[in-house]
């Protein structure tokens, strides 16, 4: 057996592994929707375990290029978990401290991952959701602007541009002209806006479907109910052909189904996105759905256990 050359098997840094995630066909789920092809964009394959590696890397790169992120400065942002994990991983690899503001009720798994990477954590009122974390990050930056590089993922255009430049082109290479639908959830909205804009340029007939919770009080961690939340500055409400609402319990059920029927242990937002995709996909549809992260970050959640009939499994926002 030939020994791989050094250049073939060594990457300069963990950050060089971001992107180029595979598509996985959901053949067993497809059985319930004849004539539809369903493909999951497997974003948990990124080195930090989520779709948020892409914008985190781009925002850090642009901060370095502009000089806003200089040696000695601290990377700061609000997060519901995944972008924070990406910042913490990259900060450790690149030699920057990271401070994060996040709701106190994010899963214990996310807290442990963040602490493992050495990130500083400030917890905010869980009843305020991600909006409370955003307000705390803003106050922290204002208190000492010279100390921080405030990435501000909810209002930073390089968030959506990361997906315009990487996620969208990858999907085009993987599916090409056969693609009829693209489905992604709304948190910061960067994935949907960036990839959606690129796909629209490729083929204006592709149906762009955004997914959000059907209620202000929901258990879909990482997703925003736009009518009741602080709307991200990068969100483009005119882009979606379909804006699909998904309930917490149907997202939980779909997440369990993906584990048991497809062997895919994914996060709650992935289940929500697939539930939304099934609401918009018609006959002869070829659908790409963003699966944002892996289910290991949610194993402490009660929804993994089948609840007794009539029992509530709704989480908190």
Structure confidence at residue 309 (pLDDT): 45
Residues 82, 190 within the same domain? no
The verdict on whether 269 is a catalytic residue reads: yes
**The last residue of a domain, from among 150, 181, 208:** 150
Structure confidence at residue 9 (pLDDT): 60
CA dihedral sign, ordered 172, 175, 180, 181: negative
Say which CATH number the domain at 116 has: 3.40.50.1100
Residues 208, 260 within the same domain? yes
Residues 90, 236 within the same domain? no
Q: Which of 50, 80, 130, 269 is catalytic?
A: 269
- For tokens 């905010």, the residue is 124
Q: Please check whether residue 293 lies inside any domain of the structure.
A: yes
Q: Is-contact 102 84, C-beta < 8 A?
A: yes
The verdict on whether 147 is a catalytic residue reads: no
Residues 229, 295 within the same domain? yes
Average pLDDT over residues 20-29: 97
Residues 34, 172 within the same domain? yes
Structure confidence at residue 65 (pLDDT): 97
Q: Please check whether residue 96 lies inside any domain of the structure.
A: yes
pLDDT over 90 (residue 10): no
Confidence of residue 206 (pLDDT cuts 50, 70, 90): very high
Residues 58, 30 within the same domain? no
Q: Could you tell me the pTM of the whole model?
A: 0.91
pLDDT over 80 (residue 3): no
Q: What is the pLDDT of residues 55-87, one digit of tens each?
A: 999 999 999 999 999 999 999 999 989 999 999
Q: DSSP states of 186-199 as a string?
A: -SSSHHHHHHHHHH
Structure confidence at residue 222 (pLDDT): 86
Q: Please check whether residue 309 lies inside any domain of the structure.
A: no
Q: Please check whether residue 156 lies inside any domain of the structure.
A: no
Cβ count near 227 (within 10 Å): 9
Q: Which one, of 130, 138, 34, 149, lies nearest residue 90 by Cα? A: 149
Q: Please check whether residue 157 lies inside any domain of the structure.
A: no
Q: Tell me what the pLDDT averaged over the chain comes to.
A: 92
Residues 92, 186 within the same domain? no
Average pLDDT over residues 88-95: 97
Residues 181, 299 within the same domain? yes
**The last residue of a domain, from among 125, 150, 175:** 150
* C-alpha gyration radius of the chain: 19
Q: What is the pLDDT of residues 229-277, one digit of tens each?
A: 999 999 999 999 999 999 999 999 999 999 999 999 999 999 999 999 9
Task: Give the SS3 label for residue 178.
Answer: helix
Residues 232, 288 within the same domain? yes
**The last residue of a domain, from among 86, 120, 150:** 150
Query: How far apart, in whole angstroms, are the C-alpha atoms of residue 104 and residue 124?
Result: 5
The tally of domains found in the chain comes to: 2
Q: Please check whether residue 1 lies inside any domain of the structure.
A: no
Q: Is-contact 304 68, C-beta < 8 A?
A: no
Task: Give the SS3 label for residue 224.
Answer: coil
Residues 130, 262 within the same domain? no
Q: Please check whether residue 284 lies inside any domain of the structure.
A: yes
Structure confidence at residue 317 (pLDDT): 32
Residues 122, 168 within the same domain? no
Q: Please check whether residue 158 lies inside any domain of the structure.
A: no
Residues 182, 250 within the same domain? yes
Show the tokens assigned to 135.
């307000």
Domain interval for residue 207? 6-47+163-304
pLDDT over 80 (residue 175): yes
pLDDT over 70 (residue 307): no
pLDDT over 70 (residue 316): no
Confidence of residue 13 (pLDDT cuts 50, 70, 90): confident
Q: Which of 52, 161, 210, 270 is catalytic?
A: 52
Q: What is the pLDDT of residues 183-196, one digit of tens each?
A: 999 999 999 999 99
Query: How far apart, in whole angstroms, are the C-alpha atoms of residue 142 and residue 29?
Result: 48
């Amino acid at each position: 057996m030939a020994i791989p050359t050094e250049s073939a098997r060594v990457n300069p840094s963990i950050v060089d592994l971001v992107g180029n995630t595979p598509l996985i066909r959901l053949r067993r789920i497809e059985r319930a929707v004849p004539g539809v092809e369903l493909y999951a964009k497997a974003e948990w394959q990124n080195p930090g375990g989520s779709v948020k590696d892409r914008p985190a890397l781009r925002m850090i790169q642009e901060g370095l290029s502009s000089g806003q992120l200089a040696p000695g400065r601290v990377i700061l942002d609000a997060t519901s978990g995944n972008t924070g994990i990406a910042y913490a991983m990259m900060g450790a690899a690149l030699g920057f401290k990271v401070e994060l503001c996040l709701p106190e009720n994010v899963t214990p798994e996310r807290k442990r991952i963040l602490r493992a990477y050495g990130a500083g954590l400030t917890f905010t009122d869980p009843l305020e959701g991600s909006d409370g974390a955003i307000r705390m990050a803003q106050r922290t930056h204002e208190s000492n602007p010279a100390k921080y590089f405030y990435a501000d993922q909810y209002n930073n255009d390089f968030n959506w541009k990361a997906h315009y430049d990487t996620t969208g082109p990858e999907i085009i290479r993987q599916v090409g002209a056969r693609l009829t639908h693209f489905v992604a959830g709304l948190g910061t909205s960067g994935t949907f806006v960036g990839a959606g804009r690129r796909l629209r340029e490729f083929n204006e007939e592709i149906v762009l479907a955004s997914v959000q919770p059907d209620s202000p009080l929901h258990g879909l961690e990482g997703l925003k109910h736009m009518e009741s939340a602080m709307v991200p500055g990068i969100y483009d409400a005119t882009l979606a052909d379909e804006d699909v609402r998904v309930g917490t319990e149907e997202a939980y059920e779909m997440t369990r189904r993906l584990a048991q029927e497809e062997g895919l242990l994914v996060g709650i937002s992935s289940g929500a996105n697939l539930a939304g995709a099934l609401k918009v996909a018609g006959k002869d549809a070829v659908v790409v759905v963003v699966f944002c992260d892996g289910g290991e970050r949610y194993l402490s959640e009660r929804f993994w256990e089948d609840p007794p009939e009539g029992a509530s499994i709704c989480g908190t926002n």
